[in-house]
Structure 1
Amino acid sequence: MGGTVGTDRAARAFIGSFTTEGGHGVTAVAVDEENGALVALGSTDAVANPSFLAPSHDGRVLYAVGESSDGTAAAFDITGPVPSLLGEPVPVDGAGPTHLALAAGHLVTANYESGSVTALAIRPDGALDRAVSVLAHHGSGPNPDRQREPHAHQVLADPSGRWIVSVDLGTDSVRVCELARDGALRLHSEAALRPGSGPRHLAFHPDGQHAYVINELAPTLTVCRWDAEGGQLQPLGETPVVEDGASGEIHPSEVVAGHDGRFLWAASRGHDSLAVLTLDEGADKPRLVTTVGCGGQGPRELTLDPSGRRLYASNERSGDVTWFDIDTATGIPVRAGSIAAPAASCVVFC
């Protein structure tokens, strides 16, 4: 467990959680930069189900989705010890927002239930304004239980800052969009992935020329080439994220790329594991090295700390955040500690 953290060597992070499952909402934690330990400072449940968070570039404001059928997004002032609402939560004009990102002076949300992406205006003080535009996804996939309609699961800016990328589990595709200065979203291109794979999240390689899509409905990672100039994503193939013979329900949730581009890590629920993939044969040829336990159950999110030396698994079902030291030679995570965090869904650093 995390111990006492000296303020002279502490950074801060924030844990998001599902309040409807017993989570505390948004929890501020101190981070011991020497050993990675987390210590809770305080929390707020002012927004229901803040399942994903994103800090502003200056580290003064924290943005959250409110993952519910009447989806919202909210801004928190984080200059004090405990996050406090900065203005009222605003509707995203979409249902079940699961992810968000800052881009082009706007906050963009991925709305899972309605299968859409929303751009929200940001006021000068960092508070959120109204939804400026909503881009609806269209299509379906072969899985009758999970892919009857679009399900936008993640949205993020590409490394060049020119494009918005949205990953859709329901349509087995990744969309590339333009976001104008006035907040207007326009579809630029769409990359089709293997039918039934159920893409969930994407991570870019540090070289800015490759991307990796974790698939929730198949325990694989889709390797892609990324053309920032043309705004085109080209799938190249799939790589497993669990060993041959793994059985039971396996639902991968997140992929993370190392800062130096040598390794990838992927979390899988059901299997409750963290996969280690090496890129020693090239960024387009990831190879599964091994898997290790996630330290709990149901790793919904996996986060690399700013130093690139530690991984944090948000284990939703067991209600904890577990951190791991990364072996610099092998990339293998070694469990180092954990903190209780009911219904944990993500960790972000400021």
Structure 2
Amino acid sequence: MSTTGSGQRAYIGSFTSAGGRGIITAAVDAETGALTPLHATDEVPDPSYLAPAPDGRHLYAVSETSDGAAAAFALTEEGPVPLGAPIPVGGAAPTHLTLWSGHLLTANYTSGSVSALPIRADGRLAGPAAVLQHEGSGPHPDRQEGPHAHAVLPDPTGRWLLSVDLGTDSVRVCELDPVSGKPAVRDEVRLRPGSGPRHLAFHPRGDHAYVINELASTATPCRWEAATGTLTPLTETPVLPPEADGNYPSELVVSHDGRFAWAANRGHDSISVLAIEASGAGFSLVTTVPCGGHWPRDLTLHPGGRHLYAANERSGDVTWFAIDARTGVPEAGGSIEAPAASCVVFV
């Protein structure tokens, strides 16, 4: 296997219920960014989101089903090998996961909760899950009738966990309760009602965070103070020109040098290029480029920082782009077939 962070293998998650092949393993050309499919494993239904372990030896996946589960894999030359049966997360339709403080955390969209599963020394998952149930709602009658946790990720210091909830228009800042083993909310930060926050990414300096809003087609820069776990929303910026409509952004990623951010747009089927202010406190829309497919559910930056990848769910492909280091504008490079693609990660 490749060494951690070298990016010589890509793992593509997908929806098996929509014809996906499960988890596709692909080789990566570090110079061109090109992907070459190697094999696929479909032991786990709907592995829509993946997270590699820092040691590069294990891979974790949600099973985005109504029952909700998470699975662990050992990474081998023959592809991911399941480490036991999937473990129930105690929540419905987990859409996102992360590793934090010796646990696997999942954001469970339908049930509006966050679950924590201990990770054993051999990489296997243990149960039962400790579940933090979100409460609240928002003004959108169809999408915000209750909580809908959509993403969980630790801050750069590793002390805090941030949970982004589309249904309650808020981000919860959590710590891990040492007794119960589940996240404990220390603060709930409110965003504009009806904005529908979906995912969050940090500036490489760690002093700002950026929330992508699915229902409003905007992004919200926030000041982040790690010493106190304080998240402060600052502004809200459209990720598309004013005339664009019918769009639902899915993901936002930040360049390694903190000069640019890119947002994936489902509906507009594009990637927005955002120039970040030197302070990190705001950004402006530079341009948009076609995503190379339909309905980009995920956008990922290669660890080398030179290539960007879009998982286009409805057209069933993954496209890659070379990034102009001066302008931040992605240039299309190529694509591979990946039915019902939902995310890309690198090891």
**TM-score normalised per structure 1:** 0.96
Letter in 2 for 1:214: I
Residues 304 and 312 in structure 1, CA contact (< 8 A), matched pair in contact too: yes
Question: 2: CA distance between counterparts of 1:257 and 1:10?
Answer: 17
Residue aligning to 2:137: 140
What residue number does 2:166 align with? 169
Counterparts of 1:243 and 1:88, CA distance in 2: 46
Within the candidate set 249, 253, 256, 1:256 is matched to 253
Q: How has the CA–CA distance of structure 1 residues 193 and 32 changed in structure 2, closer, same or farther, with 3 Å as cutoff?
A: same
CA deviations on 1:66-117 (whole Å, 9 max, x unpaired) are: 0011000000111232211111100000100000000001100000010000
Equivalent residue number for residue 238 of structure 1: 236
Q: Measure how far apart 1:274 and its partner are.
A: 0.3
- The DSSP-based 3-state class of the residue aligned with 2:142 is coil
Offset of residue 346 of structure 1: 0.2
Say which of 317, 322, 326 aligns to 2:319.
322
Correspondences of 1:106-125 after superposition (within 5 Å):
106-125=103-122
The 3-state SS of whatever aligns with 1:336 is: strand
Work out whether residues 105 and 181 of structure 1, in 8 Å CA contact, stay in contact via their aligned partners in 2.
no
Q: 2: CA distance between counterparts of 1:109 and 1:100?
A: 4
Return the alpha-carbon distance in structure 2 between the equivalents of residues 170 and 10 of structure 1. 34
Q: Comparing 63-72 with 276-285, which one deviates more in the overlay?
A: 276-285
Task: Summarize the Cα distance change of 1:166–1:221 in structure 2 as closer, same or farther, 3 Å threshold.
Answer: same
CA distance in 1, matches of 2:143, 2:16: 24
- Aligned partner of residue 79 in structure 2, secondary structure: coil
Give the alignment partner of residue 42 of structure 2, picking from 45, 54, 59: 45
Aligned to 2:3: none
Contact 1:92/1:109, CA 8 A, preserved across alignment: yes
Q: Which amino acid aligns with 1:136?
A: Q
Equivalent residue number for residue 5 of structure 1: none
Q: Which residue, 90, 94, 106 being the options, matches 1:93? A: 90
Task: After TM superposition, give the deviation of residue 185 of structure 1 in Å.
Answer: 1.8
Partner of 2:223: 225
Task: Name the CA distance, whole Å, in 2 between partners of 1:230 and 1:96.
Answer: 32
Unaligned 5+ segments in structure 2 are 1-5
Q: Is the 8 A contact 2:90 2:129 kept in 1?
A: no
Letter in 1 for 2:264: A
Contact 2:89 2:129 in 1 (8 A): no
Letter in structure 2 aligned against 1:323: W
Separation of aligned partners in 1, 2:192 and 2:169: 7
Name the SS for the 2:17 alignment partner. helix
Residue 154 of structure 1: which of 144, 151, 154 is its match?
151
Matched, 1:287 2:284: yes
Q: Which string of whole-angstrom CA distances, capped at 9 and with x for unpartnered residues, describes residues 287-307 of structure 1?
A: 100000000000000000001
Q: 1:215 is matched with which residue: 188, 202, 213?
A: 213
For residue 64 of structure 1, what is the aligned residue in structure 2?
61
Residues of 1 paired with 2:220 and 2:81: CA distance?
39
* Partners of 1:27 and 1:42 within 8 A in 2: yes
Alpha-carbon distance, 1:281 to partner = 4.8
> Does 2:18 align with 1:21?
yes
- Counterpart-to-counterpart distance in 2, 1:59 and 1:181: 27
Q: In structure 2, the residue corresponding to 1:150 is in which secondary structure?
A: coil
Change (3 A) 1:109 1:10: closer
Alpha-carbon distance change, 332 to 133 in structure 1, aligned in 2, over 3 angstroms:
same
Distance in 2 of aligned mates of 1:150 and 1:200: 12
Q: CA deviation at 1:10?
A: 7.8
**Structure 2 equivalent of residue 297 of structure 1:** 294
Task: Tell me how far 1:243 sits from its aligned partner.
Answer: 1.1
Contact 1:110/1:117 (<8 A) preserved: yes
Aligned 8 A contact 1:104 1:181 in 2: no
- C-alpha displacement of 1:142: 0.2
Identity %: 63
Letter paired with 1:196: G
Specify the code of the residue in structure 2 equivalent to 1:273. S
Aligned to 2:266: 269
Cα deviation, residue 280, structure 1: 4.0
Give a deviation string over 1:158-197, Cα, whole Å, max 9, x none.
0010011000000000001101456232111010000000
Unaligned regions of 5+ residues in structure 1, if any?
1-8
2:33 equivalent in structure 1? 36
| Count of matched residue positions in the alignment of Structure 1 and Structure 2 | 341
Query: In 1, are the aligned partners of 2:73 and 2:82 still within 8 Å (CA)?
Result: yes
Q: Secondary structure at the match of 1:131?
A: coil
Please tell me the residue identity of whatever aligns with 1:50.
P
1:343 maps to what in 2? 340
TM (normalized to structure 2)? 0.96
Structure number with the bigger relative contact order (C-alpha 8 A, sep ≥ 6) is: 2
